[in-house]
Amino acid sequence: MAPARKRRRTGVAEDTPATRRPRLGRTVSPEPAPATEVIPTQQPATSAEATQASRDSAGTAGTDLQELQRIVREAVAEEVARAMPAFQGTDARRRSGTHPLGLVGLRRPAVVESLMDFAIARSTKTAYGKVWESVASVCEFTGSQWFPMSVGAVLDYLAFLFEEGRSASTMYSHASAIAYGHKRRGLADPTVDFRVRQVLAGAKKRRLSMDARRPLSLDELGQLCDALYRLGLDRLERLAFRAVFLLGFFGLLRPGELVLGASPGHTIRMSDVKLADGELNVTIPSSKTAARPATISLQARPSFALCPVRAAFEFAGARGAAPGPFFLDRYGVPITSGRLSTIMKRAARVAGLGDAGVSGHCLRIGGASHGALKGLSELQLSVAGRWRSNAVRRYVRRTTSVLSVT
């Protein structure tokens, strides 16, 4: 069907009755017969012949409709491939004759491409693809070239995001996607230009954005655990959420690692939890920053009322040995991150803390802040929370004054 699309775009194909394609909802009549042609008299059709003719007509109409739908699907797929130049598929590469890395002569291009794709998280790759769709639509509307992008096109796109009310962090994320798309193709990164950096810095100052997630204190954590008894939960679910609260806080676990989230491969399962001799070992299958498993170990604190190891022991005893995600409700259904946030908000309201800024991430943020308050260094917190960069600084919210440690 490629020649048909070419004729539609260029408009140079000869438009004749023989080549004209039927349109949906329109009947194509045959050419009138010459005046000299003698048309024989048609005999009335029998009921069987009429039924067969009706079926043939319906089949032809259905075939035309399916053909048009296929053409539309191919056109949409082609536009999406164009909108994501850094992530073109095999079919797009065959049509264009270029490799998505901008390289020629590779002996093992599939291996090289797969290794590069494995270097970034799947969620990041999906987010970058959506950014390129946005870039393509905006640049096509303004008439500017959208790939490779010039510095001016990047500046216009960032200005568009700012006028649309996007936050500075969103603008930085879109700039990162643009940079990655160009560097993946071996092209110059337009976002390193001084003017682009200044525009991003100006947006950050003009439109301040603050992380509204609340850093829970140790006292607030205890109040949330006590409030679980007043939510009408049965014993299994009460033990489950208590263990989730304490493991998230003291283990610095992400919500999607504790309970079922957007990436089920990150969630701990029954086989990932080992309880023995007062020690808890939890193996996290993968995370958004690491594809390899990571194991955290916690020692029991018998005299500590909020001991996460004892809470995990109690839940495991009530849960049983059924395979699957570790945290289940009373029906054997995995607890989700959405349900976790709902229970946390309910517990916060019952405890009189208010539910503003309360979510599953508050446990990890609160644990990091509590560790910093107790004197853990940034390196120690990064190891405990598996942060691979200085991102831990965004999680430490509680400051310690000189007077408080004097």
Q: What is the pLDDT of residues 32-60, one digit of tens each?
A: 444 444 444 444 445 445 445 555 554 55
Superfamily of domain 109-206: Tyrosine recombinase, N-terminal domain (1.10.150.130)
Please give the structure tokens belonging to residue 69.
Answer: 């739908």
Give the model's pLDDT for residue 102: 66
Helices and strands per DSSP (H, E), number in the chain: 15, 3
CA distance 287 to 255: 11
Give the model's pLDDT for residue 139: 80
Give the model's pLDDT for residue 278: 87
Superfamily of domain 218-394: Intergrase catalytic core (1.10.443.10)
CA distance 166 to 161: 5
Contact indicator for 200, 171 with CB cutoff of 8 Å: yes
Collapsed DSSP state (helix, strand, coil) of residue 37: coil
What mean pLDDT comes out for the span 377-401?
79
Domain spans, the chain: 109-206, 218-394
Please give the structure tokens belonging to residue 285.
Answer: 């299958």
Dump pLDDT digits (tens) for 309-360: 999 999 999 999 999 999 999 999 999 999 999 999 999 999 999 988 898 9
Report the share of the chain in percent with pLDDT over 90. Answer: 41
Residue 405 pLDDT class (50, 70, 90 cuts): low
Give the model's pLDDT for residue 257: 93
332: left (phi over 0), alpha (psi -120 to 50) or beta: left
What mean pLDDT comes out for the span 78-100?
44
Q: Which residues contact 391 (CB under 8 A, 6 or more apart)?
A: none
CA torsion 212-216-222-226 (nearest 10°) is 10
Give the model's pLDDT for residue 3: 46
Please give the structure tokens belonging to residue 308.
Answer: 């996460």
Candidate ranges 18-32, 79-93, 100-114; pick with highest mean pLDDT? 100-114
| pTM for this entry | 0.59
Residue 246 DSSP label:
H
Collapsed DSSP state (helix, strand, coil) of residue 285: coil
- Is it the case that residue 29 has pLDDT exceeding 80? no
Q: Could you report how far apart the first and last alpha carbons of the chain are, in Å?
A: 79
Q: Which of 220, 237, 217, 219 is nearest to 228 (CA)?
A: 237
Give the model's pLDDT for residue 74: 58
